[in-house]
Structure 1
Amino acid sequence: MGHDDSAGARTDERRRGGLSIQSRLLIMLLAVSLVSAAVVGAVGYVNGRESLRAEVVDKLTAMRELRTGEITSLLGEVQRESALASNNASARGASVALNAGWDELAGRTLTSTEDAALSSFYADTFLPRLEGATGEDFADRAFVPPSPAGRVAQYLFTRQDGAADRPVSDPGDGSPYSQAYLEADSYFSELVKTVGYTDVVVANLDGDVVYTAAGGVDLGSNLTDGPFRESQLAKGFSEVVAANSVNDVVTTDIEEWTPALGFPVMWVVSPIGDDEGITGVLALQVPIQWINDVMTGYGEWEKQGFGETGETYLAGADHLMRSNSRSLIQNPDGYAAAVIADGTTADTADKIVRAGGTVLLQPTRGAAVDAAVAGQTGAEVTQDYIGGESITAYAPLDIDGVDWVIVARMESQEAFAPVTDFTRTLLLSTLGLMLLVSLLSLILSQSFTRPIRRLATAVRRVSDGDYDTRVETRGTDELADLASSFNEMASGLRLKQELIDHQRDENERLLRSIMPESLAEKYREGAETLAERHDDVAVVFAELLGFDDFSRDLDGAQETSALNDLMRGFDEVAARCGVESVRTLRGGYLASSGLTVPRVDNARRAVEFAVGMRESVQRFNDRTGATLDLRAGVDTGSVTSGIVARASLAYDLWGDAVHLASRLRRAGEEPGVFVTDAVRTRVEGLFDLVEADAVEVDGQATAVWRVA
């Protein structure tokens, strides 16, 4: 009987390919053991690399937060100094005297000789220096003020080619303005000498620059209609005057300042006056070097743990740097080649090297700056403006008046340098482990039950929900067939689970995309009443005008494409203004501000959105040759949002504010943005409003205003 069994076993062995289960089991155990050792080594390598990355990220995050605190503290101190400098008796007295002198100066005109001397200053002194510094050409009288008072002021003081670090000469004309200017300089120039500001500018409430410590070509110009009306200084002036509060301080973004030969500057602007009212505006020109000193740690990167390539820098919403690059400071010769290789244009790189600074010149790129500009804080490995791949820690800066982000970075090559030594040690350890495992596999292969136990273990893992578990399936024996069947079963279970998870995630995504989270939660809980009341919500109800005529000659696909193009433009404007889209119609658009996210300026955002929609329609017209326009109604008040058809998930918005906005939308055929009195009181001064025809609501006439 035993002989027959042996013969049968040999026959089965030949039929299966010649190797016994024991032989194949030994081979399988050896292979699995070797692979397992390799996996352990790979896991150790990956974990080591991730540990090093985590350490670098922690360090960069700490330095990012340190620099954030330092730059915030610096600008906060400048804001406090600006408030103190502008609200004392010396500043108020100087402002009043300068204003009076300026008014007297308005009746004076330059003689032909004086006018020629002023023109000679521009032609022979200022413009050659400006054109040499910027590489641009300017008209001979581009910066000569149009007002007589402005020209006289420049003749008296700007022609001296004064600088903030030397005294201003008395022009000797004996005018009240000259006397007031010299007395003001004795106070304001001390801010330059003792504190270190690069310039101090004083303007009257009409926007006339009546004093500058540097005596630049901005003296005598007007910030509302002069050559610098588009500058950050003019913007800060307008905000301070509009606020009309002695406690208001405005910090501007950095700009290239023409009177400073195009050098980057930033301003801290505050009103001059007291509780009885303001008489003028004081602007302190903050040295960019202060910001660079903070962001570079005064050049002591390695002492502060940044290694050879680490740094922190600032960038604006325009993705241009607001502080200097470490690489430019340490290696200006190699900087241009490095940034050009990374995507910066050769002209920009050459201008950076000539200027000796990257502020407002060096573009930044990569997911880190994009995420920070979008308001996110985090850390990741990404491409940067130089050096290829870097580990970065990024965040937006919370500083009033500036839309900046901060990035701390270190090149990945330096950050992961210790991985080389770690990998060598790990490889030797893994080879030793693999040898030991191979010897143990020879012993363990004698046990026939080991594969069965492994299969049983895999079954338990699958029963616990680990559907990624797999069993080795080499060979053609019975155990291989069993393992193969097991793997197919696990794959089928995993596929079903993935389908279930995907469907659940898709349902959740759809719910969140069409309604607020609070309503979505009620819907999931099976609530019967799916509605919520919201107070102080701004509603925009807009209607396209002329789309039917435009689409009359289009086929269905072209009409849909055009409509999608318009709606995408509206959605982009909504995202930029912080407005929530509620419902999109074929010829209209319903949106709200302050519905899901309460906002104190929802009326302003709603009007900005409506104006932006008209601009988007105009861009569409420019692209397509269409003549569409838009009529939008804006109201604010209480609204109700909810699901009006549970079976089909129709989310909508209704209430008096929605009704009135819709009435404004359909009240006439004239395009434009029309707002109610409630909106007007909130945005007055921010937009130019003209009174339009009233509409009748519930039998009563309601005033309507049109955004000019």
Structure 2
Amino acid sequence: MMLLAVSILSTLVIGAIGLASGRDSLEKAAFDQLVSVRESRHREIERTFDEIRSAVLLDSRNSSTVDASRRFNAAFAELQGETLPPDADSVVAAYYDDTFIPQLEERTQKTSDAAAFVPDSNAQRYLQYYYTAPFTDFDEAIKLDDAEDGSAWSEAHAKYHGYFREMTLQLGYEDALMLDTKGNVVYSAYSGVDLGTNVLSGPYAGGALTTAFQNSLRANVVDAVELTDFDRYQPSLGTPTAWAVSPIGDAGEITGALAVQLPIATINDVMTGSEGWKAEGLGNTGEVYLAGPDKTMRSASRLLIEHPDRFIDQVVSAGVSPQIAERAVAVNGTILLLPVDTTAVNEALRGQTGTAIATGYDGQEALVAYEPLDIEGVQWAIVAKIDSAEAFQPVSDFTRNVLLSIAGIVLAVCLLSLLLAQVFTRPVRGLVGAVRRVAAGETGIEVDASSRDEFGDLGAAFNDMSRNLQLKADLIEAQRMENEKLLHTLMPENVARRYREGEETIAEDHQDVSVVFADLVGTDAYFASHDSAEALAAVNGLVLGFDAAAAKLGIERVRTLRDGYLASCGLLVPRVDNVRRALDFAIEMRQVVQRFNSANGTSLDVRIGVDAGTVTSGLVGRENVAYDMWGDAVNIANAVRGASASPGIYVSDRVQSRLRDAYGFEQTDSDVDGTAVWRWVAEESRA
């Protein structure tokens, strides 16, 4: 390793000097190229917005627009008192329910309530009945010149719509609106659901359009143009929408405002160079994009356009949520959607201009050139980027030559190092063998630790570890034995063995088994009058007495509760006299309780039911298993126990018929499933 380190270090020093020199030169050239492209796009996007501003300003001031504004304003006011067709409300409501809301929900992936958008004014319902509701496609709605309803508004629409339609289509606007001074949308080129609404008080109020409209009228001059940032506009199905708004009028009067939706396609064409990235020197990964103050894109992503299949994986790996990435692919757009919270964007939004090597929005290291975009009305950042791997591709050739030289030197030194390594690794082999024996399960393994060097220290540390492992193995074995003992207190040994072997369903049927089902009478009052710990200790003492009696008579305890005890005879060990043993155990249980009463001055008693017959035993539960017994004999034993509220020993017909010659019984007034219940009588016990 020392020989390798000296050789590699000297080679790396020489290679690092060459790499640094080459990288610096290439970085400068790459950054210069990026800055040049950024400046070019900056000038072009500013020119595009200037052209839009000029076009909107000219359109809002020409006589046709001023005349149209006056005509539409007056006609719209008349429609407030116009009589609606009988089916107007139902047709418009059906349009929202069946066309607009489904389209809006599909586009936004959010649930919307049609009641929030249905027109609330007479004029709005009138216009949407004739110009909006008949169409399911906005591209079809813009073709209609006259609904031939005979209204003054339709006359104005027939006269001026052709002009505004051509303006909208030729300039690529997403829509063009005319508003009166009260904020009513008196005209829409595409006759969308915003036709007739009020941007100040209607369902779409409060957005960027509302602010721009108010600012344009507040300026009180006809040569003002308000530009807005992108905002989601519900009438356009929630797509990102930016506006240019200018007052309509002449020197004497402002009649309203002209609002056009900025053409997203035009902005994307400028920022992508009409998707000619390579022609502008941006290679396979370079691009220029816009970002807004919310740190999301304001133009298209090259990665999404060229490689939608890779887009999701890359941006998700960079920290974008899968839902946003999938949504961007679904709508084929990134405006207001794709986060670009990068160093370049943050610096540009703070007003800084510069270059850097930083992580891009796709998670790749990139060369970036950034600056703020100076357009009145918006605060955007413009960023040019190209992946470092592509920008520094020429460095790879030089790096390869250096690495080949290093590899040759390392190979020669490695051969010598292999010979020397044999001397140093001999003690390690012994330690490796010992480790493998420990890994195989052996304990108490030790190695020679007599050498006075690092290998001796390592051997001593291994021996300490081995002894600790032996100690822990002993503790684990002791714990296992304790667990085994605890398991045998919860279930019989043969059931515990099957449970340890992994059986999940353990159940056995037994044909001739006696069942003893007992409950203590008076425990509730006892617990209420004594401390909880003291009362529980007393009950535990009773249970210990029951367990001792069970062991003496060959009775198998199944489970115990605070005031209950379930046992059997003949379940695990078949016994021909299981019925007699069961009754003797029941009698002994009463004697245990009586002795407890005498010693403690209490008045507890026990009510016991005994039956014999078929039962099933097994484990119940998955996470918290419990050994239990059930079946006909258990049910009847429980039933005869509950046949009377008085303490005592109660048996079924089957038990009485088998023991009536040896014990005394008296028939009770109760029966179980049509058979008599018998009570054991102490005065007539066996002779």
TM-score, length of structure 1 as denominator length:
0.54
**Cα separation, 2, equivalents of 1:247 and 1:107:** 34
**Cα separation, 2, equivalents of 1:163 and 1:351:** 23
**Cα separation, 1, equivalents of 2:225 and 2:200:** 19
Q: Deviations over 1:105-153 (max 9, x none)?
A: 1223535521111111111221111111211121123222322222222
Aligned counterpart, 2:226: 250
**Cα separation, 2, equivalents of 1:127 and 1:323:** 27
Q: Deviations over 1:344-390 (max 9, x none)?
A: 00111111110011111100122111111111010101111104211
Q: Deviations over 1:57-83 (max 9, x none)?
A: 111111111110111111110110001
1:77 aligns with 2:51: yes
Aligned counterpart, 2:253: 277
Alignment of 1:492-511 (within 5 A): none
Alignment counterpart, residue 195 of structure 1, candidates 142, 156, 171: 171
> Which amino acid in 1 is paired with 2:58?
L
> Which amino acid in 1 is paired with 2:138?
A
Aligned counterpart, 2:358: 382
**Cα separation, 1, equivalents of 2:105 and 2:406:** 66
Alignment counterpart, residue 151 of structure 2, candidates 152, 170, 175: 175
**Cα separation, 2, equivalents of 1:338 and 1:152:** 50
Task: Answer yes or no: is the 8 Å Cα contact 1:255–1:265 preserved in 2.
Answer: yes
- Partner-residue secondary structure (3-state), 1:57: helix
Alignment of 1:325-340 (within 5 A): 325-340=301-316
> Offset at 1:182?
2.4
Aligned counterpart, 1:505: none
Alignment of 1:126-275 (within 5 A): 126-161=100-135, 163=138, 166-275=142-251
Alignment counterpart, residue 104 of structure 1, candidates 72, 75, 78: 78
Aligned counterpart, 2:300: 324
Cα pair distance change 1:139/1:333, threshold 3 Å? same
Q: Deviations over 1:302-341 (max 9, x none)?
A: 1211111111111001000011111111111111111101
**Cα separation, 1, equivalents of 2:389 and 2:55:** 44
The alignment-based identity, stated in percent, is 44
Alignment of 1:108-127 (within 5 A): 108-127=82-101
**Cα separation, 1, equivalents of 2:196 and 2:395:** 63
**Cα separation, 2, equivalents of 1:171 and 1:300:** 44
Give the structure with higher Rg (CA): 2
Alignment of 1:482-501 (within 5 A): none
**Cα separation, 2, equivalents of 1:86 and 1:368:** 38
> Which amino acid in 2 is paired with 1:91?
T
Cα pair distance change 1:325/1:35, threshold 3 Å? closer
Q: Deviations over 1:385-415 (max 9, x none)?
A: 1042111111110001111101111111212
1:63 aligns with 2:37: yes
- Partner-residue secondary structure (3-state), 2:69: helix
1:91 aligns with 2:65: yes
> Which amino acid in 1 is paired with 2:24?
E
Task: Answer yes or no: is the 8 Å Cα contact 2:145–2:157 preserved in 1.
Answer: no
Alignment counterpart, residue 291 of structure 1, candidates 257, 264, 267: 267
- Partner-residue secondary structure (3-state), 1:160: coil
> Which amino acid in 2 is paired with 1:328?
L
> Which amino acid in 2 is paired with 1:75?
F
Task: Answer yes or no: is the 8 Å Cα contact 2:172–2:266 preserved in 1.
Answer: no
Task: Answer yes or no: is the 8 Å Cα contact 2:8–2:406 preserved in 1.
Answer: no
> Offset at 1:168?
1.3
**Cα separation, 1, equivalents of 2:363 and 2:389:** 9
> Offset at 1:171?
2.4
> Offset at 1:284?
1.5
Aligned counterpart, 2:369: 393
Q: Which moved more, 1:190-199 or 1:407-416?
A: 190-199
> Offset at 1:427?
6.5
> Offset at 1:194?
2.6
Q: Deviations over 1:425-474 (max 9, x none)?
A: 457899999xxxxxxxxxxxxxxxxxxxxxxxxxxxxxxxxxxxxxxxxx
**Cα separation, 2, equivalents of 1:353 and 1:429:** 46
Aligned counterpart, 1:51: 25
- Partner-residue secondary structure (3-state), 2:101: helix
**Cα separation, 2, equivalents of 1:428 and 1:384:** 32
Cα pair distance change 1:35/1:115, threshold 3 Å? closer
Q: Which moved more, 1:176-185 or 1:115-124?
A: 176-185
Cα pair distance change 1:348/1:432, threshold 3 Å? closer
Aligned counterpart, 1:534: none
**Cα separation, 2, equivalents of 1:171 and 1:36:** 86
Cα pair distance change 1:35/1:113, threshold 3 Å? closer
- Partner-residue secondary structure (3-state), 2:116: coil
**Cα separation, 2, equivalents of 1:431 and 1:136:** 59
- Partner-residue secondary structure (3-state), 2:283: coil
Cα pair distance change 1:46/1:259, threshold 3 Å? same
**Cα separation, 2, equivalents of 1:106 and 1:73:** 42
Alignment of 1:497-646 (within 5 A): none
**Cα separation, 2, equivalents of 1:306 and 1:399:** 25
Aligned counterpart, 1:699: none
Cα pair distance change 1:47/1:120, threshold 3 Å? same
Identify unmatched segments of 5+ residues in structure 2.
Answer: 410-687
**Cα separation, 2, equivalents of 1:78 and 1:145:** 32
Q: Which moved more, 1:339-348 or 1:414-423?
A: 414-423
- Partner-residue secondary structure (3-state), 1:421: helix
Task: Answer yes or no: is the 8 Å Cα contact 1:368–1:393 preserved in 2.
Answer: yes
**Cα separation, 1, equivalents of 2:156 and 2:242:** 26
Cα pair distance change 1:203/1:35, threshold 3 Å? same
> Which amino acid in 2 is paired with 1:163?
F
CA RMSD of aligned residues (A): 2.5
- Partner-residue secondary structure (3-state), 1:246: coil
Q: Deviations over 1:479-517 (max 9, x none)?
A: xxxxxxxxxxxxxxxxxxxxxxxxxxxxxxxxxxxxxxx
Task: Answer yes or no: is the 8 Å Cα contact 2:290–2:382 preserved in 1.
Answer: yes
1:406 aligns with 2:406: no
Q: Deviations over 1:151-176 (max 9, x none)?
A: 22222211232635642152222111
- Partner-residue secondary structure (3-state), 2:176: strand
> Which amino acid in 1 is paired with 2:352?
Q
Q: Deviations over 1:607-662 (max 9, x none)?
A: xxxxxxxxxxxxxxxxxxxxxxxxxxxxxxxxxxxxxxxxxxxxxxxxxxxxxxxx
Q: Deviations over 1:4-37 (max 9, x none)?
A: xxxxxxxxxxxxxxxxxxxxxxxxxxx9999888
Q: Deviations over 1:170-220 (max 9, x none)?
A: 222211122122222122111023322221100001000000000000001
Aligned length: 404
> Offset at 1:237?
0.8
Aligned counterpart, 1:302: 278
> Which amino acid in 2 is paired with 1:422?
F
- Partner-residue secondary structure (3-state), 2:95: helix
**Cα separation, 2, equivalents of 1:37 and 1:259:** 66
**Cα separation, 2, equivalents of 1:125 and 1:339:** 34
Aligned counterpart, 2:291: 315
> Which amino acid in 2 is paired with 1:72?
E
> Which amino acid in 1 is paired with 2:53?
Q
Task: Answer yes or no: is the 8 Å Cα contact 1:41–1:430 preserved in 2.
Answer: no
Cα pair distance change 1:34/1:104, threshold 3 Å? closer
